[in-house]
Structures are given as C-alpha cells and as structure tokens.
Structure 1
Amino acid sequence: MSKGRSVTAIMILLSLLILPVACTRNFERINTNPYDVYDDELQGDFRLIGDPLVQSMLNIYVSNDVSVTQLQQNLMGDVFSGYMMTPSPFQDNRNNITYDLLDTWNDDAWLTAYGNVMPNCRFVMDKCRGKYPDFYAWAQIIRVLAMHRVSDIYGPIIYTNYAVINADRSIDYDSQEEAYDAFFKDLDSAITSLSQYAASATDSRFKKFDLSYSGDYIKWIRLANTIRLRLALRISNADPAKARKEGEAAMNQTYGLLNENEDNFNINIAPVTHPLNVICNSWNDIRMGAPMESFLCGYRDPRLPYYFIPADSKDSIYHGIRNGIIITSKDIYAGFSKLAWQPSRIQLCTAAESWFLRAEAALYSWKGAGDAGENYEKGVYASFKQYNLTGAYNGYINNDTLTPKPYTDPYNAVNNVTAGSLYLSRCTIKWSHNAPLHEKLERIITQKWIAAFPDGQEAWSEFRRTGYPKLFPVVINNSGGKISSASFIRRIPFIQFEYATNPAGVKRAVSKLKGDDNGGTRLWWDKQ
C-alpha cells in the first residue's frame, strides 16, 4: 500500500482536495469553475463540456491514482463484500478490516466524488440547461452513477443542496431517502430527454467523449433504466410502494434494460492498466477473499480462473484469506491466490446483473418482470457468455447438489469455517420453482454476487440489503462494541474534514441517520 505519508502530508492533501467543495468560506469564489466559458464557446467540437464529463466518468471508480482507488474502493467495498482480502497488517492490524475505522481511510470516496464528479456535472448541467439536452441528460446519469455509490457508503450526502449555502455558512445533507428520490427524478428526466434523441438522431454529439458506449443514446437509456431498477430494489424493504413504482417504470420503458453483454457498462481506461493489477501485483496488497474460495471452489465454477490464479503452492489450488483475522506479517498470506489480470476497463453494470434484477422483481410480482426462474438462468448464462464459457453452462445451471465448501486456513485453524457453521451457505445452483421465497432470493443474489465481480462496492451494498450471500464474519473486532461481528459493518462514518468545515451540516446529517455516526448504524434502505 502506497501510504507512507506523514500526518502533515495527509492533511495538506486533504486541504487541497476538499477546499473546492466542503469549505464554506468564500464558497461562491471557490466554486467558480476554472473551465467557465461563454455560451458561444460551447459550440463546435463541444470539448469544453465533454471533457469535464470524461473526468467524471473516470472518477466514479478512480482509474489513474491507485492510492486513491485503494481507499475509495479496494480496502472498502472489495473487502467488505467478501471478494478480496489484504495480506498486509496495516497499522499493526488495527484498521478498517478489523473494524477499527481510520479517519484517513474513510475520506477518499467522499473527496473524489466532491472533487471530481459533482463540480464537473454541475458545470455541464448549468451550461447545457435548455440548450443541449443530451449533454444535460448524460451529466444527470453520470452523477447518479457516482453518487448513489457514495450514499451507499455514508448514507446522507450533499446532493440537491450542493453549492447551496445557508445563512450560517453550512451546507445541508439530504437524508438517504431524499437522495434516492432525487436519483429517481434525475434518471427519469434523463431517460425522457435521451429518448427524444434516440428516435431520430443519426449521430451523437457526445460520441467522442463517451468512454463506454461511443455516444449510443439507446444504450445510455438502457443503462439508466437498469440503474433505476437497481435502486428500486435497493429501497424495496424501506419503501415498497416507491420501489415498485420506480422498478416497473424502468422495466416497461420503451428501450428496456441491458440485455446482452454488448450493453455492459464498462469504462474504457486504456492505456492505463486496471488499478487492481497494481494493488495486487506491484504492491501485493490484495488477494482472493475466503468467501470467493468457498463459493467458486465449492460450485466448481468455471469462472474461477478468470477471477483468480492458483496460490503459490505445489498443489496449485486456490486459497483465499478470511477477513478480519490476526496477521502479524505480510509474508504469511502473500502466497495466497492473486487476482487474474484485469483488462483496462472498469465494469460497473452488466447484462447479467440486469437479468438478476428482473429475477428478483419477479419474486415480488412487479409488472414487466417476467418469470423469476427464466431471468435467473439468463443472468447466469450472460455471465458465462461474458467469459466465453457457454459450453459449461448447462452442466452448471442444472447442478442441484454442489454447495459452497468449508474454509480452511492452513496457517491458523481459528479462522476455519467448518461444515455446519451458521455462516457457511448451503445454497445450491439449480433453480427450484417450489422453493420458498427466501431460498429463491438467496440463489439470485448469490449468483449476482459472483457475476458482479470485481465491483465490490455494489456487492457490499447488496449483501447489506439482503444478507446474501452468506459471508464469514471478522475474527478480530477492534470496534469497541460499535460494530457487531455477527451483523458486519454497515456503513462508513462521515469524514473528519466535513466535521471541521461544515459542522452544523454534519450535525444535522447525523440526526438523519437515526443512529450514531459509526460503522454499526444501518442505512435507510438497510432493513434486513
């Protein structure tokens, strides 16, 4: 981990990053975008409004500052989801992995969003309102893509009140319910606007800036619909009526959802290598998570070698590390399974996920969802096809005996998860129409979890929402009772710089949490 920075250096960096968005002193001057232009300058190649959105896309999941990615995503969602684990005993093994939440680890997700996403999207929306509806809609979708992830980390966020200064110089947070309501409104507006272009436009004005779909309006509409369905299901336990309304609107919109792997939302970051390649191979700071070993090996899943490589041992088997364990030296677990080489793209939403979303919606009889079992099988097939594994699909999808295998740590038996453990899943693969609803949901979410790899942020959110797949709790819990090992970590506290620069706003935000500002307090949608 490239974190040999002194406390002073960290604070200087935080100051540089946060000033444009969090400090309320001289807010109007600070928030004057340096790329500000006159309206007539927007025409031509549209670069002055296209380039800011390129930067926004590249910071949904940071692509080119790996030290930021490591804290924004890797040592947060990637680990908390069970996908990965670090062999490194950072801070003498007292860190976020063992629930001793470090202020210096908690800020990068927030600072990135408010330094590189929100200002750029706001700038484009301000300049394009009433003039270039396609750019405006594109900015709306990108903003939701980034900010729902931020809300799913912290809870309340600054969204509808961004750049709105109160008389006491504070900035108000939206509650998570208010933020989600705004996400749905943004997506609905964007879908409506882009649909007007999709019906008649022969070429896209933002084609040259689009790192995913080359300006294909229809694919952006399908992505927006799929994200709308994702967020609808995210709130299904908190507001069932709202969830149904938004989910049905997404599934029944003219252009539909992501259907094929050609629709997958991948952000092209070439020639930059994927940050996980650096974290895993150059820094040796990440390895396979124990739950991944349990599920993929237990299911004899053919996707396994596309996700990980065998451990550095003569028997060439796969080994994962259990989260939150005693690690005295990086050398102990460094030989466990590395990640397979990741291509130069950031995967954030796939056709496989889209089918699994429809499968779950069908469990609740949402209009337009179709049949749960058929959608489940299409989700698995789409994931297999993504890795050119369709020849192995029939044998896999019809297997009704294989289950996740017990976990054995060859270096410390305390970390083992034995057969019969409460935390060892007994979920099989083959769909059963006669199974109870909770079993169907576990099957859907388990396969969605496998297919969503390596996006641990989304996987962590779905685990918190549903309780699936079954993961292994930490062995070492340094939270001082703030986080329950059995309940797992639920969120990340608000960052300290916000407490320093926006204390009144943060105080009101904490009241919207309906709990203490710590990792044990559940988010609004987290009702399982």
Structure 2
Amino acid sequence: MLALATASIMTVAIQGCTDNFEEINTNPYGISNEALTQDFNHIGGRIVQATQNIYVITPAWVTQLQQNLNADIYSGYLAPPTPFAGNINNNTYGLVDGWNGFIWSSAYESVMYPLATMDETAGDEFPQFVAWGKIIRVEAMHRVSDVFGPVIYSQYGQSPAMYDSQEEVYKQFVADLDEAITVLKGYTDFVGFAKFDLVYGGDVNNWLKFANSLKLRLAIRMSGVDPAYAKTVGEEALTDAVGLLDSNGANFTLSPSAGDHPLNTLSGAWGDTRMSAEMESVLSGYNDPRLEVYFAPSTDATLAGGFKGVRSGIEIASKDTYVGHSAISTLGGVQLMTAAEVAFLKAEAALKGWAGAGTAQANYEAGIALSFAQHGAGGADTYMVDAVSIPAPFVDAYNADNSVLAGDPNLSTATIAWDATATEDQLLEKVITQKWIAMFPDGQEAWSEFRRTGYPKKFPNVVNYSDGKIDTDAQIKRINFSATELTTNPDGVASGIQALGGPDTGGTSLWWDIN
C-alpha cells in the first residue's frame, strides 16, 4: 500500500530534525568532542546520511514518492498495478504535488543540508572529506536537476535562494568533480573514509574512478546541446590516468548493510509495482536471460506462471486486475552506476569520435558482457551476436486496447548484434537499449537517457490527465517545481521558471533534452 502523509506534516518533521541536528547527534553519555574527532565521527556521520539519501533507503514509502511513482514509471522499467487517487496520478499524468515534493525535499533536507554542515565542520582541516562530499553532492543533485531542470545549488543556504539554470548547474557539477578529483589524488592512501563509506569501504581510488565515470555521464548528457564543451569534459574523463569504473567489483552500489532495497517492500509486501510492458517486450523478444534475474513469474493463474508486464498510463479499475503480474525479484544493494553503464557511455563517446574512448563495438560488447556477469547470466557471447531477435509485441492480458502489436511505430525493431553498416542512429539505439537493460532498476538514470535520445522506444500513455500540459506522444519531460518552494521561496521559483524557459509543467523540456 502507499503510506499516507501530508507534505506539510513531513516538512515540519524534517525541519525539526535538521534544526536540532547537533542536539540529536550529541552523545548523551558524555563522550567528548576530542574523542569524536579522533575517528572523524564529527564529520563522517553526515557523509553516511547524505549517501543513504541519494536514493532513499528507508523508509520505503519515501522511496516510493521520491522515485518509484515517477522516474521508475517514465523510464519504462516498472508500472503500478494500483489505481492510486482514483487512477488520476503520476502514472496517468495527473501529477500529484504532494508526492513529487519528496523528490526535492529528500535531496535538500537529507543530502544538501548534512553535506553543508560537514563542510563547515571540516573546513580547511579535512579537505579530503570536503572533496568526498562534493562527489556525493554531484551524484545526488544531478539526479534532482534531471527531474526539475533548474535547481538551487550555488545559492543553497541563502534567502531567498535563487535557482541556477540547468546549464549553469551542470557546469558547476563538472567544476566540483574536478576539484574533488584534484584533492583526492593526494589522499589515495588515506584510510579514514572506511568507517563511513557505504559504497567502497574507504577505497579512495574507487571514488576517483567513480568521479571520472560520473563526469563522463554528465558529458554524454550534455553532448547534444553543447557538443564542444561536452567533448572536452568527456575526453578529460576518458584519458585521466586514474581511469573509470571497469569491473563489477567497482560498481557504485550501496551495500546491503545500509538497508534492504526499498523496491523489495514496494513490490513484495505492498504489491505496488510490477514489471513494465516495455521490459516484457524487450527482454522476452531478445530471449534475454536477465528476465528471470530481474523479475519473478506471474502469480495470476490465467498467466500460467509466465513473465508478464503492465503497461503504464492505462485505465485501472482495481488493483486486483494486474497485481498478479510479474513482481521484481529480490534485490540486494541499491545500484546507482555500474561498469556496464560506463562501457556503454564509452561506446557512445566512440560513436562521437572522442579521444580515449576506444572502439564503439568493443565497448558495446564489453557492456553486455559486464552486465551478464554482474547478474550471473550465461550465454553473453551467443546473445551479443544475435542479429535476428527484436522486441516482442505486447499483449495486455485483460484489455486489448492496451496492447502494442507488430508494426506499431512505438515497437522497436532493433536487433542486438553490432552492425558496422548501420547508421549512427541505429547504432545509438542498440547502445542505449542495452544500457537501459543494464541499468535496471535505476529508473531515474534510464528516464533521463530516454528523454535525451528517445531510446529505447517506450509505449505512450493510453490515458492522459494532464489537461493538455503533457503531450502524449512526446511523453513527460519533467516534474513541476515543489509546491512547498512556491510557498516558502516564491522569488527563487520565479528565477527557476525564467531559467527553465517554458511553463512550469511536465511538458517543458530540460536544457539537454533536444531530441
């Protein structure tokens, strides 16, 4: 079920927590500040809090509002069988401000705030922690910018806090990563991160590789709208001696010790999310062995244990209709970047002719192999030379009007095997489709790539309750600004709308979305 809470109650609760941060985190048994400082406890705890809230680990209902009921749907990964709010909700483009405010508040209250207080405490004494925080801040906030567009970044903490345009903030992200990389290269033997590192156990070299990989991701994201700058940034990442994430052992995954994956609760205990129609179409059409890794067989008796998805943006009268479709298999750590994704980034960089990228085909096939290995799936060599299989038609088990049949322009005909005679756009579709499969279940990054490239093809909504604000065929482009911000920071929101360059609706494209 969807846990209920009003935005106003949560705002008060969260504000209360942050206002009393020092008091709450003061040990009542009298441990001195000197003792806390010895093991970096006075600054490291903020790193833990920020890391856990890039993608909210707990409680699961916040994750549901932060990502599952927006990006996970819009990416084509998952679809809710539950007709929340009378089926007029994010899934059907009747955007729910009370839900979507958590995308914003989770980032600012639980990432930006603790990192800002850490910076103040660390000061010039612990530059390695400040640098580490910059990487985490960029990872969290580029995701937020990719939802809203303009965001508060350079003026965070000011009143009123004006918004940076997405172009401005992306370039600040790159500058922050550059500063962090420069500093951390002087601390590669430092062991003080270990106690607070939920990803790499204190390995500074892996954080440097992640920072470079994140820089490459941002460069590719900007490549359509500012190709010269993107090429410079991308080539810096590709040629840096530290390197990029290149093995599954270096994947950016929040460890299971940080908490069970919230999607296990949303899919299992609550039954509020199911495999999408697109996932069924692509994975079954490609005979992809990852289908059985990602999802569980249907429990609906009429489906005879097959793997069955739900199309998003349809009329649903009752949860009972589709809840027996394929749930998500049990997930371990929260995956936010993998070596497979980086290989596909390099493949696209090679298509663009960027120095240091290698060859597109080699990177493409490496990405497939890395993803198969990550999930313990066999047969990668046979899979990647399949030049025949294409995504399968989708047949809705209960309403034929929701089906997507052969010949429908929204159904991809892309094959798997690399084809040197194909056009650059055809090769890009292959790259993005395989990257989309590999990045599951991180719907935020997949939605961003879909908007940037149009791939993989995603089935448009059948119903659209946006009152004309979102084009059904173009699909949703962003989430409108936080309702709380409209009340508490109206001048800031006005600056954000001006920087957006269009109305504050789900139909206005972001800066890099020029597809």
TM over 0.5: yes
CA displacement at 1:159 relative to structure 2: 0.6
Q: Which one of the candidate residues 307, 313, 331 is aligned to 2:320?
A: 331
Query: Does the CA contact (< 8 Å) of 2:52 and 2:258 recur in 1?
Result: no
Deviations 1:232-274 (A, max 9, x none): 1111111111111111111111111000000101011427321
Q: Whole-Å Cα distance in 1 between the matches of residues 438 and 182 of structure 2?
A: 30
Distance 1:77 1:69, change over 3 A: same
* Counterpart in the other structure of 1:25: none
Q: Whole-Å Cα distance in 2 between the matches of residues 282 and 510 of structure 1?
A: 39
* Counterpart in the other structure of 1:319: 308
Secondary structure at 1:347 match in 2: strand
CA displacement at 1:130 relative to structure 2: 2.0
Q: Whole-Å Cα distance in 1 between the matches of residues 256 and 318 of structure 2?
A: 34
Q: Whole-Å Cα distance in 2 between the matches of residues 33 and 522 of structure 1?
A: 40
Q: Which one of the candidate residues 226, 233, 242 is aligned to 1:255?
A: 242
CA displacement at 1:109 relative to structure 2: 1.0
1:364 partnered with 2:352 = yes
* Counterpart in the other structure of 2:480: 493
Secondary structure at 1:106 match in 2: helix
Single out whichever of 34-43 and 109-118 deviates more from structure 2. 34-43
Q: Which one of the candidate residues 507, 510, 515 is aligned to 1:523?
A: 510
Q: Whole-Å Cα distance in 2 between the matches of residues 350 and 417 of structure 1?
A: 31
Q: Whole-Å Cα distance in 1 between the matches of residues 60 and 398 of structure 2?
A: 30
Letter in 1 for 2:165: S
Alignment of 1:209-220 (within 5 A): 209-220=196-207
Query: Does the CA contact (< 8 Å) of 1:63 and 1:269 recur in 2?
Result: no
Q: Which one of the candidate residues 385, 400, 405 is aligned to 2:373?
A: 385
Q: Whole-Å Cα distance in 1 between the matches of residues 171 and 286 of structure 2?
A: 39
1:474 partnered with 2:489 = no
CA displacement at 1:134 relative to structure 2: 1.4
1:3 partnered with 2:3 = yes
Secondary structure at 1:158 match in 2: coil
Q: Whole-Å Cα distance in 1 between the matches of residues 437 and 195 of structure 2?
A: 33
Secondary structure at 1:348 match in 2: strand
* Counterpart in the other structure of 2:399: 412
Letter in 2 for 1:337: S
Letter in 2 for 1:126: E
Secondary structure at 1:492 match in 2: coil
Q: Whole-Å Cα distance in 2 between the matches of residues 118 and 36 of structure 1?
A: 21
1:459 partnered with 2:446 = yes
Alignment of 1:221-300 (within 5 A): 221-270=208-257, 272-300=259-287
* Counterpart in the other structure of 2:171: 181
CA displacement at 1:2 relative to structure 2: 2.8
CA displacement at 1:320 relative to structure 2: 0.4
* Counterpart in the other structure of 1:141: 135
Query: Does the CA contact (< 8 Å) of 2:298 and 2:308 recur in 1?
Result: yes
Query: Does the CA contact (< 8 Å) of 1:258 and 1:350 recur in 2?
Result: yes
Alignment of 1:8-157 (within 5 A): 9-17=6-14, 43-157=37-151
Query: Does the CA contact (< 8 Å) of 1:212 and 1:268 recur in 2?
Result: yes
Secondary structure at 2:466 match in 1: coil
**CA RMSD, aligned part only?**
1.8
Query: Does the CA contact (< 8 Å) of 1:260 and 1:351 recur in 2?
Result: yes
Query: Does the CA contact (< 8 Å) of 2:340 and 2:367 recur in 1?
Result: yes
Deviations 1:292-346 (A, max 9, x none): 0000000000111110011123532111000100100000001100111111x11
Q: Whole-Å Cα distance in 1 between the matches of residues 497 and 475 of structure 2?
A: 20
Single out whichever of 156-165 and 142-151 deviates more from structure 2. 156-165
Q: Which one of the candidate residues 378, 381, 388 is aligned to 1:394?
A: 381
Query: Does the CA contact (< 8 Å) of 1:415 and 1:475 recur in 2?
Result: yes
Query: Does the CA contact (< 8 Å) of 1:353 and 1:452 recur in 2?
Result: yes
Q: Whole-Å Cα distance in 2 between the matches of residues 281 and 137 of structure 1?
A: 38
Structure 2 alignment gaps of length 5 or more: none
Q: Which one of the candidate residues 397, 404, 413 is aligned to 1:426?
A: 413
Query: Does the CA contact (< 8 Å) of 2:7 and 2:101 recur in 1?
Result: no
Secondary structure at 1:197 match in 2: coil
Query: Does the CA contact (< 8 Å) of 1:258 and 1:264 recur in 2?
Result: yes
Query: Does the CA contact (< 8 Å) of 1:325 and 1:476 recur in 2?
Result: yes
Deviations 1:466-523 (A, max 9, x none): 1000000000000011000100100000011100011111111101100000000001
1:513 partnered with 2:507 = no
Q: Whole-Å Cα distance in 2 between the matches of residues 393 and 444 of structure 1?
A: 15
Query: Does the CA contact (< 8 Å) of 2:57 and 2:258 recur in 1?
Result: no
Secondary structure at 1:270 match in 2: helix
Distance 1:490 1:36, change over 3 A: farther
Letter in 2 for 1:232: A
CA displacement at 1:185 relative to structure 2: 0.6
Q: Whole-Å Cα distance in 1 between the matches of residues 152 and 13 of structure 2?
A: 19
CA displacement at 1:20 relative to structure 2: 8.1
Secondary structure at 1:470 match in 2: coil
Secondary structure at 1:43 match in 2: helix
Q: Whole-Å Cα distance in 1 between the matches of residues 346 and 317 of structure 2?
A: 45
CA displacement at 1:64 relative to structure 2: 1.2
Alignment of 1:298-317 (within 5 A): 298-312=285-299, 313=301, 315-317=304-306
* Counterpart in the other structure of 1:26: none
Deviations 1:340-376 (A, max 9, x none): 1111x11000000010000000011111001000000
Single out whichever of 49-58 and 34-43 deviates more from structure 2. 34-43
Letter in 2 for 1:150: V
Deviations 1:182-239 (A, max 9, x none): 10011001111111122xx2x4111111011111111000000000000111111111
* Counterpart in the other structure of 1:27: none
CA displacement at 1:18 relative to structure 2: 5.2
Q: Whole-Å Cα distance in 1 between the matches of residues 3 and 512 of structure 2?
A: 33
Q: Whole-Å Cα distance in 2 between the matches of residues 179 and 305 of structure 1?
A: 39
Query: Does the CA contact (< 8 Å) of 1:33 and 1:123 recur in 2?
Result: no
CA displacement at 1:11 relative to structure 2: 1.8
- Compute the TM-score of the two structures, normalised by the length of structure 1: 0.93
Q: Which one of the candidate residues 342, 348, 370 is aligned to 1:354?
A: 342
CA displacement at 1:42 relative to structure 2: 6.4
Deviations 1:420-442 (A, max 9, x none): 11100001000011211000100
Q: Whole-Å Cα distance in 2 between the matches of residues 379 and 130 of structure 1?
A: 40
Single out whichever of 267-276 and 238-247 deviates more from structure 2. 267-276
CA displacement at 1:128 relative to structure 2: 2.1
Letter in 1 for 2:383: Y
* Counterpart in the other structure of 1:192: 182
**Percent same amino acid among aligned pairs?**
47
Q: Whole-Å Cα distance in 2 between the matches of residues 373 and 188 of structure 1?
A: 29
